[in-house]
A and B are shown apart, each in its own frame.
Chain A
Amino acid sequence: MKIKDVKKAVLIWGILSKKGLDALKKEEMGIVAECRPYLYGLKHNSILLNKEKVPYFYCTDNMLGYLFREGKVKRTFIFYRGKKEDGFISPAGSLYVFLLSKLHSVELKFFEEGRFSEGVDKDASTFGERVFVSREDFTFVEQPEDELIEYKMGLKEA
């Protein structure tokens, strides 16, 4: 798929839930980002959208800046894990997506995350069984943690 053929679409970040899916069905198209290292995009969201026949296109996380800059992101859905008094707890990369959305004046919507039963790879140095970093360098991999999106950063519950 070429960028010129891509319509403005809704970016999905985190584990898509039933409520999020219902909201997405009202939209024209979704953007499934990879969501490293867990690969929620590939292992959960794309499967769900295929099953429900919701149109989408896939991209890696580092392509999101390009899509924001080109005005291809209409809205962002972030699926959070929990709430704290100072903000939302969401999977790794949520802050990246949240800030890119804010900086490009893209509307954000938050949903509680869906259920994901399959075991996920939470190691930043691997893709499943494929290991990219030598054993002695494992300690130099910054393993991702859940991130806090704070109200003071402009977070508003939609």
Chain B
Amino acid sequence: MYSSLLLFPVKLEGKKIIVLDETLLPFKEGYIKVDSLEKALDVLGSMKTRAFGQVLLFFYCCALFDSYSIAEITQRFKETRPTFDFELLAALLEREVSGSKDILESVNKFIANFDFLRRRRMSRLAALLPNPAKVLTICNINGELIYLYEELKKLSKECIFYVSETRPYLQGTRLTFWELRKNNIPAYLICDNQAASVMKDGKVNCVVTGADRATTKGDIINKVGTYALARLAKYFGIPFYTLVQYPKDIDVSSIVIEERPSSEVFMFLEEGSAGIDAVYPSFDIVTSNLVTKQINILGQ
């Protein structure tokens, strides 16, 4: 049986939200108790959780901290991480709540259904990938590559992953490579700049990435480094697949790209970085002309 802590990195225990501190992995499995909105925002802003974790954190905050409206919580989350679409989450939640009136019940229902949907999404992707599937990926898709591996196995397809380390936070190394290897799934780690080399040598035959935002036209916003992969994949004739949630009919260029502090660029380095000025755009835009197929959470 395959598993990953990252499939559900945020959980609810009584009146407290328990957040897996992803910045400690793989060295330590540590958790943070969140009992206020301020604490939740601190956890979010300091990247202790991200991706699906921030979805869960948002939903649980809406369920627990009822002195704030969903709109207020949305605004505070958006101010903390401006690129992610918390307004979309709020709309999904409002729609669920309107039927049952109980936010927590709605949240639990939504989460259970989401897990079913993401597994089904991987089943659709597995059918599209070649045999053997030699998959290049970046950042971390919260355990979903494990689902992909299981689905490929069901189809008797061989699979190997190449994981781009994803500087500066190293989500590729610390999260994706770690969770795949913990499950004994064949995976190789590469430096981000080796992508062209593994493509040229035929070590990969497809690219699979998640997306923080997506448009109905097929554009995505995802971790910085994704654009280079898409552009290079196009050059080498390698298909580029994106896993998205709920695409919106919006102009991708209107989305604010979060820039994080310079100091974070050096956070995992041993060397001193005094006096060095760095840029840190967190996300890349990848336009639809570089995307072979967008697979949304509804499996379409």
Which residues of A are at the interface with B, using a C-beta cutoff of 8 A?
1-3, 6, 32, 34-37, 39, 42-43, 46, 50, 57-69, 92-93, 95-100, 103, 124-125, 127-130, 132-134, 137, 140-142, 144-145, 147
A128–B273 Cα gap in the complex (Å)? Answer: 14
Set A1, A92, A130, A145: member contacting B193, Cβ < 8 A: A92
Set B232, B273, B275: member contacting A99, Cβ < 8 A: B232
A33–B140 Cα gap in the complex (Å)? Answer: 23
Which residue of A is nearest B226, CB measured? A65
A142–B173 Cα gap in the complex (Å)? Answer: 12
Which residue of B is nearest A91, CB measured? B193
Residues of B within 8 A of A133 (CB): 173, 177, 181, 189
128-167 of chain B: CB within 8 A of chain A: 138, 162, 164-167
A-side binding surface: helix, strand, loop or mixed?
mixed
Residues of B within 8 A of A46 (CB): 276
- A65-B228, A93-B193 known; A2+B279 contact, CB < 8 A: yes
A98–B269 Cα gap in the complex (Å)? Answer: 26
Set B167, B187, B226, B270: member contacting A60, Cβ < 8 A: B167
9 closest pairs, A vs B, by CB?
A: A93-B193, A62-B225, A65-B228, A128-B270, A60-B167, A62-B192, A58-B278, A65-B227, A95-B196
Residues of B within 8 A of A137 (CB): 177, 181
- Least CB distance from A97 to B in Å reads 7
A98–B231 Cα gap in the complex (Å)? Answer: 13
Q: Is the CB of A142 within 8 A of B189?
A: yes
Set B26, B191, B224, B273: member contacting A144, Cβ < 8 A: B191
Q: List 25 A-B contacts (CB under 8 A).
A: A2-B279, A43-B271, A57-B279, A58-B276, A60-B167, A61-B191, A62-B228, A63-B224, A65-B227, A65-B228, A65-B284, A69-B285, A93-B191, A96-B232, A99-B235, A100-B231, A100-B232, A124-B194, A125-B189, A128-B270, A130-B270, A137-B181, A140-B181, A142-B188, A147-B196
